[in-house]
Amino acid sequence: MTAIRISGTALADTLRAEVAQGVSRLQSTTGVTPGLAVVLVGEDPASQVYVRNKIKQTEAVGMRSTHHLLAADTSATALLALIDQLNADPAVHGILVQLPLPPHLEAKAVIEAIDPRKDVDGFHTQNVGSLWTEGCGFVPCTPLGCLHLLQTVRRDIAGLHAVIVGRSTIVGRPMAALLLNESCTVTIAHSKTQALPALCKTADILVAAVGRPQMIKAEWIKPGAIVLDVGINRIAQSDGSTRLVGDVDFEAALAVAGAITPVPGGPGPMTIACLLANTLEAATRMASA
């Protein structure tokens, strides 16, 4: 068997085109241009790349993009003052503080300071609670993108066993809530889970979000399973160059899985497309409030 490759690049293109249409429609009916403010503290190279992509794609769909690049030693007081200012700005409909923050800043306090109606990352406790109670708050972008990718290969996932490897607040936990809301039977595995290979092998849907390059082997995968690989790991090659790989041993997994996302070109592009969709939704809600 050779698995279907689920293209995040193609689906993200489609979703971005829909968002661009939605932006035009909102502008023509209400005069409102959705605005996304991106905040980056410090100079983490990976975060700089993500933020540059977010800004570029926000502008490409016709939204207003503002960015705030702050020094690594920015105080909590200064950062919270900026959040207050963005909360009060009617031209800003979405606020994204790129994580991780430098160690002296507490991410939780910063996220809780964001107006939940502008929390397009879906990280504020009000949106987290909404997700777990099947409310209509914002859903974190990476898990939301994964659900869209999964639904391209299988619509009805009720009753399937989903195993999520990784319990982060950005991916693992919200992914569990989303799949539970779709009536999957959900198991969250993590670094202390016993007999992980055997557990993974029981998964109809396997979500890898651990951040360990190629950790999940073909033998851990149930034949025909749908595999969503959220990992983005840069590894060195023998010729001195580097390449990106996921948390799954992709080439070997292709022979066992029913469908699998590649890295790069899987959940990554969908994360930004879902961020744009959430920002359009935030602006739409505010325009009609």
Residues that bind ligand GUN (CB under 6 A): 96-99, 121, 141-142, 170, 271
**How many angstroms separate the CA atoms of 209 and 232, rounded?**
9
Between 258 and 266, CB nearer to ligand GUN: 266
Q: Report in angstroms how near the CB of residue 120 gets to ligand GUN at its nearest.
A: 9
**How many angstroms separate the CA atoms of 16 and 28, rounded?**
18
Between 98 and 130, CB nearer to ligand GUN: 98
**How many angstroms separate the CA atoms of 139 and 217, rounded?**
30
**How many whole angstroms from its chain centre is CA 259?**
20
Collect all residues with Cβ–Cβ distance below 8 Å to 29 and sequence separation of at least 6: none
- What does DSSP say about strands 233-236 and 242-245: parallel, antiparallel, or unpaired? antiparallel
Q: Report in angstroms how near the CB of residue 143 gets to ligand GUN at its nearest.
A: 9
Return the residue nearest ligand GUN (CB atom). 99
Q: Report in angstroms how near the CB of residue 221 gets to ligand GUN at its nearest.
A: 25
Catalytic residue among 119, 121, 229, 247: 121
Please count the CA atoms within 13 angstroms of the CA of 167 that sit on its side-chain side.
Answer: 8
> What sign for the dihedral angle of Cα 40, 45, 48, 49?
negative
Active site residue 121: yes
Between 79 and 97, CB nearer to ligand GUN: 97
Between 105 and 256, CB nearer to ligand GUN: 105
37, amino acid identity: A
Phi/psi at 197 (5° precision): -55, -45
| DSSP single-letter state for residue 105 | S
Q: Report in angstroms how near the CB of residue 52 gets to ligand GUN at its nearest.
A: 14
Q: Report in angstroms how near the CB of residue 274 gets to ligand GUN at its nearest.
A: 9
Please count the CA atoms within 13 angstroms of the CA of 49 that sit on its side-chain side.
Answer: 5
Active site residue 56: no
**How many angstroms separate the CA atoms of 245 and 247, rounded?**
7
Active site residue 98: yes
**How many angstroms separate the CA atoms of 32 and 220, rounded?**
49
Catalytic residue among 57, 98, 204, 214: 98
Between 271 and 284, CB nearer to ligand GUN: 271
Active site residues: 54, 98, 121
